[in-house]
Amino acid sequence: MTSIFIVDDNRPMLARMQRAFGAAGLDNVITESDPLVAVSRIRSKRPDVLIVDYNMPQLNGLAMLELLKYEGIVPQLPTVLLSGLDLSELRLQAFEAGALDVIDKSVAEQELIRRVSNFALAGRSTLGDAAPLPSKTVPAADHVATAHLLRTFERLSALNDVPSGLHVHRVAAYAAAIGASAGLGARDLDVLRAAAPLHDIGKIGVADAARRNGRAGTEPSLEDLQAHTTIGYHLLKGHGSPVLDAAAQIALTHHESWDGSGFPLGLRGPDIPLYGRIVAVADAFELDTATLNRPLHWLVKQARDVIEANSGVSFDPDIVCAFESSVEAMVDIKLRIDAAAIEPDRAMRVALMR
């Protein structure tokens, strides 16, 4: 049975499209109003067709496609971008992001249904039943409870990110690029992509750590802030999922240093798990290039200088070499995601400031 996944922050529109597809005999329709949650759900649902609205807060349709593209899901998944805006401005960007078509939201429902049905048939004939979309949560994604838990954790982690929730996803994309350059296999890259967004989930407990240490209502101390590593580890460990086990390991060790001066365990050199070493470099690049107050070329140079200067100190020299090999891809990731996510129109600016 054809499965259709629709993402739109307009809930009445979601309900209307679900009814229209149902009336046409397409009953297997999954809807989601939160694009950040949708990114996680698509990994495990493996729909036949994805329909994404363009103008959404937090993450617009183009940015969402870029995230899925760097996870290897789009363009394998036939995707349609819907928009009520001038399509001439969006069409080329959407195709570059991997969309199969861009459709005006005002198009007649029957035309939309027919076109989507054709895309579903084309997608199945191309992929075949024996070649489903790659699961980014590996075997554990087959267990519904684990998939729901992973989505919940990812959403909690994104809540700490201002303004758009993209920090955790950029770090995951950067980590995957570095991991590929470091020689990780496809299965390990899948785990890294799915686990890395949870690296800072422990920050949701920093205020509570300050309260326990007698500093409620004041600025968290360095000790309180550093506690996010162990808080994240205890949140994520013991769920019986390879991805969550890897996420727990990353949460605990992404602030360890190659020379043993990091926290919370003071691990040294290869005693630091590989995923933690990779995410440490990805996180450093993200933090040094996240601001919009400087030209990107200046920020990238600064990030490279800082990371290279700390090779053998904070960072694994081999991972720094892998970073250097992948920095061009990482810049491309940032440009594509940020260009799609930060639109100049007033409505988007207002949404991002909420």
pLDDT bucket at 166, cuts 50 / 70 / 90: confident
- Contact in structure between 314 and 273 (CB atoms under 8 Å): no
Q: What would be the CATH architecture of the domain defined by 138-353?
A: Orthogonal Bundle (1.10)
d(CA 317, CA 328): 18
Task: Classify each residue of 213-237 as buried b or exposed e, where b means 16 or more C-beta atoms within 10 Å of its C-beta.
Answer: eeeeeeebeeebbbbbbbbbbebbe
d(CA 16, CA 6): 11
Question: For residue 304, is pLDDT > 90?
Answer: yes
The whole-number pLDDT of residue 274 equals: 96
d(CA 6, CA 53): 8
- Boundaries of every domain in the chain: 4-127, 138-353
Domain 4-127, CATH: 3.40.50.2300
Q: Which residues contact 259 (CB under 8 A, 6 or more apart)?
A: 268, 312, 313, 314
- Mean pLDDT, to the nearest integer, of 236-251? 87
Burial class (CB in 10 A: 0-12, 13-18, 19+), 97: buried
Apex 76 CA angle, 184 and 250, nearest 5: 35
- Mean pLDDT, to the nearest integer, of 165-180? 86
Sign of torsion, CA 213 218 221 224?
Answer: positive
DSSP 77: S
- Rounded alpha-carbon distances, angstroms, from residue 321 to 183, 268, 324: 12, 18, 5
The whole-number pLDDT of residue 349 equals: 36
d(CA 43, CA 135): 6
**Torsion region of 41: left, alpha or beta (phi above 0 gives left; psi -120 to 50 gives alpha):** alpha
Name the E strands within the chain. 4-7, 29-32, 49-53, 79-83, 101-104
- The whole-angstrom distance between residue 334's C-alpha and the CA centroid of its chain comes to 12
Q: How many CB atoms lie within 10 A of CB 301?
A: 12
Mean pLDDT for the chain overall:
79
d(CA 278, CA 273): 9
C-alpha atoms less than 13 angstroms from C-alpha of 56 in its C-beta half-sphere: 29
Question: The sheet that has 29-32: what strands, in order across it?
Answer: 29-32, 4-7, 49-53, 79-83, 101-104
- Mean pLDDT, to the nearest integer, of 7-13? 90
Question: For residue 146, is pLDDT > 70?
Answer: no
Which of the pair, 42 or 213, is modelled with greater confidence? 42
d(CA 136, CA 176): 12
Share of the chain above pLDDT 70, in %: 76
The whole-number pLDDT of residue 291 equals: 65
Residues, the chain, total?
354
DSSP 315: B
Residue range 207-219, pLDDT digits in tens: 776 666 666 666 7
pLDDT bucket at 70, cuts 50 / 70 / 90: low
The whole-number pLDDT of residue 111 equals: 81
Sign of torsion, CA 232 234 235 237?
Answer: positive
